[in-house]
Amino acid sequence: MSRARQAFPDQLRGLALLGIIVVNAPFLAISSTGYTEASLEGWWNQAAGFAVLTLAQGKFYLLFSFLFGYSALFILRDGAAPNRRRYRRRLVGLAVLGLAHAVFLFTGDILFSYALLGFGLLLLVRRSDRVVLRTAVIVFVLSAVWLALIAALLVAEPSREQTTDLALDAALADGSFLAAARARLAALPVVLLTIGSLQWGLAFVMFCVGLLAGRRALLADLAASRVLWRRLALWGLLIGFPLQAGAAVLQLVGGGLFTLSTPAVIGLIGGFVTAPILAAGYLGGLALVSLRAPRVLDVVRDGGRASLTLYLGESIVFCILFCGWGFGLFGRLGAGAVTVIAIAIYLLLEVAIRLWLRRFAQGPFERLLAAWTGPALR
């Protein structure tokens, strides 16, 4: 793999963070379980919720997971002991940042999850492509079965009661910084169980796929794989979009997470299981865009270069705007307004990061993590 920084992974990472923030936004701004019935009243709010569920939920964290696996080889390289130590230190650093993020900013943090799964990926680094691929297939099948079991259990005992964590919502809406942190800490075990059940398996599958792609430096020369990108774009979008739209409709019609009705459960689980199809369509489509008009995606490249700063920065700004210790907007806005605010925050942070990178080689959180990880070996 080339040691020169590749453009497309940064472009893709930057765009993935846009999708991630619009998905996280309801949990940061509306309720601890995301959209509420009140937040989806009116066509504008329903349209925003439908767009986020269809286009973003469950898709962009998969792209980010793919890039995590792809980029692992930039540190691990040949899998030599010193590089493995650096990689383990990086995972420990991500775990610490993730836990701090989950307690002080956002319980739905992905950094801690990625750190744990990254240790699993480390076991595959020196294994053959066949072993990595078989592992990915096995984990995908097990994840699909596990999600189907969860769906069956929830459908067998449907709940019409409000499932929002009222104590956490109250702390976020009116509590001090420390009160909100204590409430997040109390909710964290259940949140990790939920995230682990819904996302960890599929995320690890994408780690494996990214590792295989990294071995071939697939994203370094997009033109060499043009046929692959076309096929991914065609079939991924053609099949993936209708499936995700159908899943979104079921979630909205069924009342979403705040009721866990049968249609909502089927839509939620079905959406996660089939999300890799649309994610593959995005990968292929964006690769074609980057080939034909690279400057279009260069506008988000700096955010991709400083993805850790962008990811944590989004949560910091959201907490300042919505938590009780900030401007106190938590639970007061609908899905449409929250989505627009999320996009605006993303754009503002992209500009701020671009200005920062004119003076510094890394984003502030990237520098912090690099100081802990240690210098790269030459």
Three-class SS of residue 360? Answer: coil
Mean pLDDT confidence for 133-151: 92
Q: What's the confidence (pLDDT) of residue 2? A: 44
Q: How far apart are CA 185 and CA 192, in angstroms?
A: 11
Tell me which amino acid residue 295 is: R
What number is the average pLDDT over the span 122-140? 93
Domain boundaries, the chain: 7-373
- Helices 7-29 and 335-357 sit at what angle, rounded to 10 degrees? 140
Lowest average pLDDT, out of 167-171, 329-333, 373-377, goes to: 373-377
- Copy the structure tokens of residue 74: 């930039």
Q: What is the mean pLDDT of residues 28-33?
A: 91
Mean pLDDT of the chain: 90
d(Cα 165, Cα 187) in Å, to the nearest integer? 8
Both tokens assigned to 4: 């020169």
Average pLDDT over residues 296-313: 92
pLDDT tens across 200-216, in order?
Answer: 999 999 999 999 999 99
CA 116, 118, 121, 122 dihedral sign is negative
The confidence band for 376, taking pLDDT boundaries of 50, 70 and 90, is: low
3-state percent breakdown (helix, strand, coil) of the chain, nearest 5: 80, 0, 20
- Tell whether the model's pLDDT for residue 6 goes beyond 90: no
Looking up tokens 């792209």, which residue turns up? 63
Mean pLDDT of 277-306: 92
* Cα–Cα distance measured from residue 307 to residue 58, given in angstroms and rounded to the nearest whole number: 18
**378: pLDDT confidence band, cut at 50, 70 and 90?**
very low
User: How far apart, in whole angstroms, are the C-alpha atoms of residue 339 and residue 334?
Assistant: 9
Q: Write out pLDDT tens, residues 45-97.
A: 999 999 999 999 989 999 999 999 999 888 887 667 788 888 999 999 999 99
Render pLDDT for 229-275 as a digit per residue (tens, 0 to 9). 999 999 999 999 999 999 999 988 876 655 667 888 888 888 888 99
Q: 192: alpha, beta or left, given left = phi > 0 and alpha = psi -120 to 50?
A: alpha
Of the listed ranges 101-105, 183-187, 254-258, 308-312, the least confidently predicted one is: 254-258
Rg (CA), the chain: 20
End-to-end CA gap in the chain: 14
Q: What is the pLDDT of residue 102?
A: 96
pLDDT score at 161? 47
Instruction: Using the predicted structure, report yes or no on whether residue 44 has a pLDDT greater than 60.
Output: yes
CB atoms within 10 A of CB 78: 10
Task: Give the whole-angstrom CA distance, residue 347 versus residue 300.
Answer: 9
pLDDT tens per residue across span 147-204: 889 888 877 765 544 445 788 999 999 999 999 999 999 999 989 998 998 899 999 9
291-303 per-position pLDDT tens digit: 998 888 888 999 9
Burial 158-180 (b: 16+ CB within 10 A, else e): eeeeeebbeebbbbbbebeeebb
Q: Taking Cα atoms as reference points, which of 10, 23, 34 lies closest to residue 343?
A: 23
Two tokens, residue 234: 């065609």
Residue whose token pair is 């398996």 = 201
* CA nearest to 187, candidates 31, 22, 40, 52: 31
CA 234-240-245 angle, 5° bins: 135
> What percentage of the chain exceeds 90 in pLDDT?
69
Assess contact for 222 and 290: CB atoms under 8 A: yes
Q: Concatenated DSSP letters for 317-353?
A: HHHHHHSTTTT--TT-S-HHHHHHHHHHHHHHHHHHH
Q: Rounded mean pLDDT of 115-130?
A: 92
Picking from 155, 98, 87, the residue whose alpha carbon sits closest to that of residue 120 is: 87
Question: Distance (Å, rounded) from C-alpha 331 to C-alpha 308?
Answer: 27
pLDDT at position 23, please? 95
Sign of CA dihedral 38, 35, 316, 301: negative
Whether residue 377 has pLDDT greater than 60: no
Q: What is the predicted pLDDT for the residue at 164? A: 52
* pLDDT more than 70, % of the chain: 94
pLDDT at position 159? 53
Place of tokens 């430096």: 217
CA atoms within 13 Å, Cβ hemisphere of 237? 12
